[in-house]
Structure 1
Amino acid sequence: MPTSNPYAIVHFIEKLMELKPQSILDVGPGFGKYGFLAREYLEVWFWRIKKSEWKIRIDCLEAYEPYISVVHKYIYDNIYIGDVREFPLHTLPNYDVIIFSDVIEHMEKDAGKKVLARLYDKADKAVLVSTPAEWYGATRGRSPDDFESHVCYWAPEEILTIYKNTEIIYSGSEKGKKTYLAVIKKDS
């Protein structure tokens, strides 16, 4: 399903506005929500309404090409297709901020650690990771691709153990709606 828990949205926007990125990579954009919100609050909010006025490069990397729509083609400067576990990230430029929202729980723990390390290396300011704050057990996705199954739970402490300069922000209060945003900042 090309969507994610809505409860962390306000925190994403606040952190993006605080970080003031000039470039963003949205990994696993799904419906394109965070790219759209980044455009709105980093461009349109400052009266850069027309695409020709936009100053921030916002790219995405989507594993499942059928999710790409006219929204993506309008919002994102570059759209890359591929599985982040295998995608040659070294061919891309560095980004101020990398968004990794509701993706890490779809891969095995070792693969998730490797991907997160590669994304951290490509980020100049921060990696924003959002994932469920509770484990409900493994689930199979209902979409025709194999990128939707939840296979692994990431406790916030696991990310804090690997990346010391991390802020954890919780949102959602009901079972099934709890999520957290890990703002993994680069060491200055």
Structure 2
Amino acid sequence: MPYSAEVSKPWIGEKLRDIGEIKRVLDIGVGAGRYSELFRPLCKDAEWIGVEIFRPYIERFGLTKLYDEIIEQDARSVDYAKLGNFDVAFCGDVLEHMTKDEAKTVIDMMVRYTGNIFISVPLGECPQGEVYGNQHEAHVSTYMSIDDLYDVFSGIVAHNVSKNKNYTIGTVWIRSYT
């Protein structure tokens, strides 16, 4: 879905406050732009760069007003070195749309240029197909538990599991670099 799960957002907000000054933010798989809407007030002077693979979302959700720059590209083919360094990156409800190996490769590339990465994915069975004509919304990988995230991604320093009535969201904070 182009909308990310709200249940994990308070935890992410707490962690963003712990990070301190944030000058550059990268949002992978922008969708409806919820991370920018929620967290721009915590990152007042930050530059926000969004990566969105599906062109119709850019117009439908007014993403050029929510981000300083929108890159219409697949996260798997972004040249992260060319983008430069970021203090924070969000991969919210996006990595389940690629294989675990592809997701690991994307995060491993981002870690080189990003101080803090927040990953949120549904935990357990959560089948999903195309949404709004967007074939990229289909779920490809299933993360069964928070332990599964630790098995796939390195550098996790904290995690949160949040539940609502329909699903469970696993969120991890990876600290790296810079």
Q: Fold match, TM over 0.5?
A: yes
Residue 120 of structure 1: CA displacement? 1.5
1:1-188 correspondence runs (5 A): 1-20=1-20, 21-43=22-44, 55-69=45-59, 71-123=62-114, 125-136=115-126, 138-154=127-143, 155-161=145-151, 162-174=153-165, 176-186=166-176
TM-score normalised by the chain length of structure 2: 0.88
Residue 173 of structure 1: CA displacement? 4.6
Residue 164 of structure 1: CA displacement? 4.1
TM-score normalised by the chain length of structure 1: 0.84
SS in structure 1 opposite 2:172? strand
Moved more, 57-66 or 148-157: 148-157
2: distance between equivalents of 1:17 and 1:94?
19
Residue 150 of structure 1: CA displacement? 0.8
Aligned letter for 1:144? Answer: G
Contact 1:102/1:131 (CA < 8 Å) preserved in 2? yes
Contact 1:63/1:81 (CA < 8 Å) preserved in 2? yes
Residue 127 of structure 1: CA displacement? 0.6
Q: Deviations over 1:71-102 (max 9, x none)?
A: 42222111111001112222211101110000
SS in structure 2 opposite 1:117? helix
Task: Tell me the C-alpha RMSD between the 2 structures.
Answer: 1.9
Q: Which runs of 4+ in 1 moved over 6 A?
A: none
Q: Highest Rg: 1 or 2?
A: 1
Q: CA separation of 1:32/1:146 partners in 2, compared to 1, >3 Å: closer, same or farther?
A: same
SS in structure 1 opposite 2:84? coil
2: distance between equivalents of 1:26 and 1:183?
14
Contact 1:7/1:179 (CA < 8 Å) preserved in 2? yes
Q: CA separation of 1:164/1:39 partners in 2, compared to 1, >3 Å: closer, same or farther?
A: closer
SS in structure 2 opposite 1:5? coil
